[in-house]
Amino acid sequence: MFRNMKIAARLGLGFGLLVLIMLAIAVVGSLGMSHLNDSTDDIIANKWPKVLLLQEGLAGVNDIGLAGRNMMLAENKEAAQKAKEQIFEGRAAIGKAWDKLKPTLDQPRGKEMFAQIVDSRERFIAAQNQLIKLAEDGKMAEGRAFLAGDYRSIAQEYRKRVNALVQFQGELMTQSGVAATTEFHQSRNIMIAASVAALLLSVALGFWLARGISRPIGNAVAVANQLAAGDLGVKIEVDSRDETGQLLAAMKNMSGRLAQVITETQAVVGAAAQGDLSRRVDLGDKQGFARDLGSSVNQYSETCDTILSEVGRVLNAMSAGDLKQRIERDFPGAFAEMRTAANSTADTCAAIMAEVGQVMGAVAAGDLTRSIERPFPGDFEAIKNSVNTSIGRLAQTVSAVSGGVSEITAALGQVNAASQTLAQGASEQA
């Protein structure tokens, strides 16, 4: 399945998994931080304010205790009245603190302990009122005895119960702190484990992606190098449908087309080497470079066939005695040189034959003084020399024959004269 997956899809899948892992780490971290924040917020916003309220109430109890003692030790009414007012202020402060504290208590044990505090407060208020009444009645000795006895016992019990709730709240804060620490360690361990897993998965994904991409590309590069080296018989295996598989398939198709073109080209060239210039590369099923290559081979064959046909036509005409035929068509490069050479050969043959004809015509007219003066290359110069030599020798022979004829004519004249003399002498004798 993955082998046929596109490279873009593989990369998208890999990065998608990494994003999911990072998202999971972020979610785990956020949840851990959220729990830690909840625990910390519970300590700061819930439990610690309760402790502060308890401490505020405890301070009020202490203030009332001191105010009651001062009231019993007062030396005048003003000092006693001031201590009385301090008692009422402490009582009001405790009442406000307990009013704020009561609705915040959510633990059954805490509510039970707070009920005991309220019970002790009512008893402490009653003891305060009794102490105030003794001071107002002037019973200072009895008041001091009450202060040192029942009043102190009630106040101590009150403080003891308030401290007990403070200690309970402290235990709850300790538990919250431990829970926060535990949650922190758990979140940290989970994030570390998730990070390690993400790292390992990233390495695995990177290796998988790199191998899945580089290996087929390496095969394609090896195939391309073999094709570049001219090895068209290389075996190309296509085992995937991704981009690299498509590349290998295209290279396989290209290799096949090249092999086909080269085979057909070799067939045309081989036929041309055997003198058959009629063979052509079939262009019907070819496109692109294959069609261009085949077209070039065909054009080369056609040009060779044409120039050779023209040269053959001129040579055949020359062999038939027609020295007027020439190659008129233009050809490029070496073919133009061949055309020039063929035409030059025909021109030279025509020229030498014309010169020979003129000289022979003169000879036929009795003019043995004519000769071929124009220079010719190679064997044509030998022909020229042979003709001139033959005419020279013919002239010599004719001159010798002419001299002999003259001598014979003179001798005949002498014979004739002698004959006439003899004939005349015979007549006279008769």
Mention every residue, 6+ apart, whose C-beta is less than 8 A from residue 144. Answer: 72
**Average pLDDT over every residue of 121-133:** 91
Domain containing 84 — which CATH number?
A: 1.20.120.1730
pLDDT of residue 430: 58
How many Cβ atoms from other residues are within 10 Å of residue 315's Cβ? Answer: 14
End position of a domain, from candidates 198, 220, 242: 220
Kindly state whether residue 248 falls inside one of the protein's structural domains.
Answer: no
Kindly state whether residue 184 falls inside one of the protein's structural domains.
Answer: yes
Q: Which of 112-121, 220-229, 253-262, 313-322 has the highest mean pLDDT?
A: 112-121
**Average pLDDT over every residue of 376-386:** 82
Cα–Cα distance for residue pair 66/44, rounded to 1 Å: 32
pLDDT band at 115 (very low <50, low <70, confident <90, very high): very high
pLDDT of residue 426: 66
Structural domain harbouring 184: 7-220
Kindly state whether residue 125 falls inside one of the protein's structural domains.
Answer: yes
Cα–Cα distance for residue pair 217/231, rounded to 1 Å: 19
- The number of folded domains in the chain is 2
Question: Is residue 88 pLDDT above 70, yes or no?
Answer: yes
Kindly state whether residue 284 falls inside one of the protein's structural domains.
Answer: no
**Average pLDDT over every residue of 342-356:** 82
pLDDT of residue 1: 56
End position of a domain, from candidates 193, 220, 247: 220
End position of a domain, from candidates 187, 220, 253: 220
The model's pLDDT over 154-177, given as tens digits with 9 standing for 90+, comes to 999 999 999 998 998 889 889 888
Cα–Cα distance for residue pair 279/266, rounded to 1 Å: 11
pLDDT of residue 34: 80
Cα–Cα distance for residue pair 255/251, rounded to 1 Å: 6
**Average pLDDT over every residue of 122-138:** 90
Question: Is residue 306 pLDDT above 80, yes or no?
Answer: yes
Kindly state whether residue 279 falls inside one of the protein's structural domains.
Answer: no
Cα–Cα distance for residue pair 173/144, rounded to 1 Å: 40
CA-based torsion, 184, 186, 188, 191: positive or negative: negative
How many Cβ atoms from other residues are within 10 Å of residue 141's Cβ? Answer: 10
Kindly state whether residue 273 falls inside one of the protein's structural domains.
Answer: no
Mention every residue, 6+ apart, whose C-beta is less than 8 A from residue 5. Answer: 13, 242
Kindly state whether residue 234 falls inside one of the protein's structural domains.
Answer: no
pLDDT of residue 75: 81
More confident residue, 430 or 36: 36
More confident residue, 419 or 95: 95
Cα–Cα distance for residue pair 215/224, rounded to 1 Å: 14
SS3 278: coil
pLDDT band at 73 (very low <50, low <70, confident <90, very high): confident
Question: Is residue 28 pLDDT above 90, yes or no?
Answer: no
The model's pLDDT over 258-287, given as tens digits with 9 standing for 90+, comes to 777 778 887 887 887 887 878 888 877 777
Kindly state whether residue 262 falls inside one of the protein's structural domains.
Answer: no
* Assigned token pair, 336: 């133009």
Query: Across all residues in the chain, what is the average pLDDT?
Result: 83
Question: Is residue 399 pLDDT above 70, yes or no?
Answer: yes
Q: What does DSSP assign to residue 240?
A: -
More confident residue, 83 or 231: 83
Cα–Cα distance for residue pair 356/372, rounded to 1 Å: 7
Residue 253: φ, ψ to 5°: -65, -40
Question: Is residue 288 pLDDT above 80, yes or no?
Answer: no
pLDDT of residue 122: 93
